[in-house]
Homo-oligomer: A and B are copies of this chain.
Amino acid sequence: MPEPQSGPKPAVGQPAPTAPAEPKLRADARRNREKVLRAARDAFAQSGYDVPLDEIAARAGVGAGTVYRHFPSKEALFEAVITARVTDLVADAEARAASAEPGPAFFGFLERIATEATDKRDLPDAIAIPGALSDAVRSALDRLLTGAQAAGAVRPGISAPDLIILFKGMFATLHQAAPDPATPLDPALRDRLFAIIADGLRPPR
């Protein structure tokens, strides 16, 4: 939430549009919630679901109790992280779906995922959480995919759920190519793998 850089515009009376799902929290509480989420995102990405909750709390600079004030369980925290990440993806997918060129829009989105996947070690685990990728994802993907298929850039006969599965597999594949988070993925290898999957999505001859 960027602050206005300048200008005398008074913020008086503006009814801060808080997200509807999140009840009003004191400023420091919200700040702590954010710190925990960020720390959890990094920790899960680096070490997977097995990272101890104490380490997440330590990264966030808070006590373990604070984590539990904001999230009822470790699994709930994990789900929140995944959801946040997926929400970002959905927003991006929707933006690209508005593009004039459906084919590049679709493959560009795919490429973004491949690029991001390298250091996100928790995505494969996320599949255990049912409902994380829900209607919003499906519909956003559907728009991207349908457009690309209509433009003849992607093979027919596959659907958004197929794609979701394929994406998850791509995440997993790329992680396996870089089992050690310290030494990141060889970009050339990543490109070779990406090319195979992307080509497989094009219309068959």
Contacts and interface: CB of A to CB of B under 8 A. Distances in A.
A52 to B, nearest CB: 13
Nearest to A164: B176
Given A192-B157, A198-B200, A199-B204, A168 B162 contact: no
Contacts of A113: none
Interface string A36-80: 000000000000001000000000000000000000000000000
A196 B128 contact: no
Interface in A153-194: 155, 157-158, 162, 165-166, 168-170, 172-174, 176-177, 179, 189, 192-193
Interface of A is mostly: helix
A201 B128 CA distance: 29
Contact of A169 (B162, B176, B198, B199): B176
Contact of A199 (B50, B173, B200): B200
Nearest to A204: B199
A205 interface: yes
Interface of A: 50, 124, 127-128, 155, 157-158, 162, 165-166, 168-170, 172-174, 176-177, 179, 189, 192-193, 195-202, 204-205
A28 to B, nearest CB: 15
